[in-house]
């Protein structure tokens, strides 16, 4: 067997030329988005009022397996891709495990996460359509940062609605976005109808992702030449993120490595959907089998405690309805939750796959997540994003189990980004001020009671 290097890089010529559309191989397709007013599936024309044309085509296409990555996007990818697939030799050594651990590291770009993979694609299609700019929301700020980088590359205007609490607590992210020319507005704001409505109903609110989405959609539909873009959850985003999994698979194949377990954190599901894409393809086609594990925070447990139903994607209830694992659109994780992954719903594609038994999910409490993050940082050198640390936690647990059983499993996990902008959360952890708040069944029942009633 070939000696496995610390980092497996692909040659430029080995980088993916096509994205892979997982839906093409699913027997049960994800349920369509519905118009909240009529309950009928959203048409391309209706979606086109909010999203870019080509992205609508991608969103609705559940039959074409491979889509060529445009030359310009591949050119941009080359600035920061291929991303390394790292053999975690130091972590294995530290854990004294017979397991072999690999991680795909997506934090090697200024935005610090995988989100740039889709941001550049979405900005490209907006540019091709001749638009002036795009609007979006951002929570912790990774998506807004990635999108402002992508927009400045193509000379597009970028309006970001940033959840107010993050706007105030994460001034550095805000300044990165402004460096790339984006306008950043704390949400809820007085600049939109829905923002004013929310502020009137909840004066002093520090905002939520669902609320910022409502504002960004309104800004896109009321400003001529603008469309709305979203950094996760949607099928098109999973499609662009398939570049993560395709590179991972190519790197593993190069050394004839077959993973047993593939682990990723799940917020809206885009990095996980991307990482598992080519592996899930084999699984769906009966060509190979893998254990696939989604990791979510115990404080926002969409897969493990949510229900599979049509729900709103935003608080303002103006976005299409999606059939997904959800905690209810007005579920907001406890204020002490610092680990990210706070969206109430989940990608429709991953929801369907989970429902059909193709993957597992586990929820982990945040103190243990930060313990895993610190353990990882100390041996592997990288300071992980709290989101990514959810995957680290479960990979370590799996490796510890292998130590007990003596199994030499191969574990692959997604290390989605770096945590330099999350040091307030690390500070809380180091000061022993971090706590776990796990929603009660009553909390969940309350937000789930507001699911839309479909005719
Ligand atoms: C946004 C983000 C996530 C979660 O989003 P998904 O769409 O579930 O991938 C995970 N890690 C990092 C670093 C992020 O920025």
Tell me what pLDDT residue 264 has. Answer: 98
Residues with CB under 6 A from ligand 1: 113, 115, 142, 232, 265-272, 341, 385, 387-388, 416-417
Decide if pLDDT at 248 tops 60.
Answer: yes
pLDDT tier for residue 338 given thresholds of 50, 70 and 90:
confident
The residue nearest atom 7 of ligand 1, judged by CA position, is 270
Tell me what pLDDT residue 115 has. Answer: 98
pLDDT tens-digit profile of 231-247?
A: 999 999 999 999 999 99
pLDDT tens-digit profile of 109-165?
A: 999 999 999 999 999 999 999 999 999 999 889 999 999 999 999 999 999 999 998
Ligand 1 mean position, distance from CA 39 (Å): 30
Ligand 1 mean position, distance from CA 200 (Å): 31
Closest CA to 358 of 61, 28, 24, 63: 28
pLDDT tens-digit profile of 193-233?
A: 999 999 999 998 888 888 899 999 999 999 999 999 999 99
Mutate to test the pocket of ligand 1, among 140, 173, 341, 349 (most ligand atoms within 8 A of CB): 341
pLDDT tens-digit profile of 276-310?
A: 999 999 999 999 999 999 999 999 999 999 999 99
pLDDT tier for residue 1 given thresholds of 50, 70 and 90:
low
Q: What is the pTM of this model?
A: 0.97
Mean pLDDT of 12-36: 97
Nearest-angstrom CA–CA distance, 235 and 212 = 20
Mean pLDDT of 359-369: 97
Decide if pLDDT at 272 tops 60.
Answer: yes
Closest CA to 385 of 204, 264, 237: 264
User: Residue 410: how many CA atoms within 13 Å on its side-chain side?
Assistant: 12
Closest CA to 365 of 382, 389, 398: 389
Give the atom of ligand 1 at the shortest distance from the alpha carbon of 232.
Answer: 7
Ligand 1 mean position, distance from CA 51 (Å): 21
Ligand 1 mean position, distance from CA 62 (Å): 23
The residue nearest atom 9 of ligand 1, judged by CA position, is 271
Closest CA to 361 of 294, 265, 267, 452: 294
Decide if pLDDT at 455 tops 70.
Answer: no
Nearest-angstrom CA–CA distance, 62 and 323 = 15
Give the atom of ligand 1 at the shortest distance from the alpha carbon of 273.
Answer: 9
Ligand 1 mean position, distance from CA 37 (Å): 30
Decide if pLDDT at 408 tops 70.
Answer: yes
Mean pLDDT of 419-444: 94
Nearest-angstrom CA–CA distance, 261 and 275 = 12
**Which SS3 state, helix, strand or coil, does residue 187 take?**
strand
Ligand 1 mean position, distance from CA 109 (Å): 14
Tell me what pLDDT residue 188 has. Answer: 95
Nearest-angstrom CA–CA distance, 44 and 46 = 6
- What is the secondary structure of 228-263 as a DSSP string? E--SSSSHHHHHHHHHHHHHHHHHHHHTT---SEEE
Mutate to test the pocket of ligand 1, among 105, 106, 107, 115 (most ligand atoms within 8 A of CB): 115
Please give the C-alpha separations between residue 335 and each of 44, 149, 258, 301, 437, in angstroms, as whole numbers: 38, 29, 41, 15, 9
The residue nearest atom 2 of ligand 1, judged by CA position, is 387
The residue nearest atom 13 of ligand 1, judged by CA position, is 417
- Rounded to the nearest 10°, the torsion over CA 335, 339, 341, 343 is 0
Mean pLDDT of 155-180: 94
Decide if pLDDT at 324 tops 80.
Answer: yes
Decide if pLDDT at 22 tops 70.
Answer: yes
Mean pLDDT of 267-273: 97
| Share of residues in the chain with pLDDT > 90 (%) | 89
Q: Which phi and psi angles does 371 have, rounded to 5°? A: -60, -45
Ligand 1 mean position, distance from CA 387 (Å): 6
Ligand 1 mean position, distance from CA 85 (Å): 18
Which residues, 6 or more positions from 442, have their beta carbon under 8 angstroms from its beta carbon? none
Tokens of 433: 């001020």
């Amino acid at each position: 067997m070939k000696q496995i290097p610390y980092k497996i890089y692909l040659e430029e010529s080995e980088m993916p030329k096509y994205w892979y559309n997982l839906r093409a191989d699913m027997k049960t397709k994800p349920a369509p988005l519905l118009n909240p007013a009529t309950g009928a599936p959203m048409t391309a024309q209706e979606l086109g009022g909010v999203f870019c044309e080509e992205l609508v085509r991608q969103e609705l296409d559940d039959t074409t397996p491979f889509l060529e990555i445009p030359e310009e996007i591949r050119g941009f990818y080359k600035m920061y891709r291929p991303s390394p697939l790292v053999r975690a030799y130091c972590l294995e050594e530290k854990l004294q495990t017979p397991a072999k651990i690999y991680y795909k590291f997506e934090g090697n770009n200024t935005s610090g996460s995988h989100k740039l993979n889709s941001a550049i694609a979405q900005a490209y299609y907006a540019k091709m359509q001749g638009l002036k700019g795009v609007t979006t929301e951002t929570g912790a700020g990774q998506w807004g940062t990635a999108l402002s980088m992508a927009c400045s590359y193509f000379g597009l205007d970028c309006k970001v609605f940033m959840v107010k609490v993050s706007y105030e607590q994460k001034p550095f992210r805000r300044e990165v976005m402004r460096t790339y020319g984006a306008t950043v507005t704390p949400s809820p704001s007085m600049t939109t109808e829905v923002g004013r409505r929310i502020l009137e109903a909840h004066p002093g609110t520090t905002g939520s992702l669902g609320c910022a989405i409502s504002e960004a959609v309104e800004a896109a539909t009321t400003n001529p030449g603008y469309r709305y873009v979203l950094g996760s959850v949607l099928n098109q985003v999973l499609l662009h993120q398939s570049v993560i999994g395709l590179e991972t698979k190519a790197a593993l194949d190069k050394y004839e490595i077959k993973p047993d377990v593939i682990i990723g954190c799940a917020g809206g599901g885009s990095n996980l959907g991307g990482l598992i894409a080519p592996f899930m393809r084999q699984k769906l086609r009966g060509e190979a089998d893998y254990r696939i594990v989604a990791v979510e925070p115990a404080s926002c447990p969409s897969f493990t405690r949510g229900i599979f139903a049509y729900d709103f994607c935003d608080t303002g209830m103006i976005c299409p309805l999606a059939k997904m694992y959800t905690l209810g659109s007005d579920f907001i994780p406890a204020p002490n939750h610092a680990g990210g992954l706070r969206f109430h719903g989940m990608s429709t594609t991953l929801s369907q796959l989970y429902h059909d038994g193709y993957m597992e999910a586990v929820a982990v409490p945040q103190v243990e997540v930060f313990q895993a993050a610190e353990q990882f940082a100390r041996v592997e050198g990288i300071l992980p994003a709290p989101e990514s640390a959810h995957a680290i936690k479960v990979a370590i647990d799996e490796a510890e189990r292998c130590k007990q059983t003596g199994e030499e499993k191969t574990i692959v996990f997604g290390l989605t980004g770096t945590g330099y902008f999350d040091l307030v959360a690390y500070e809380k952890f180091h000061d022993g001020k971090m706590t776990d708040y796990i929603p009660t069944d009553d909390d969940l029942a309350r937000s789930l009671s507001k699911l839309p009633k479909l005719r």
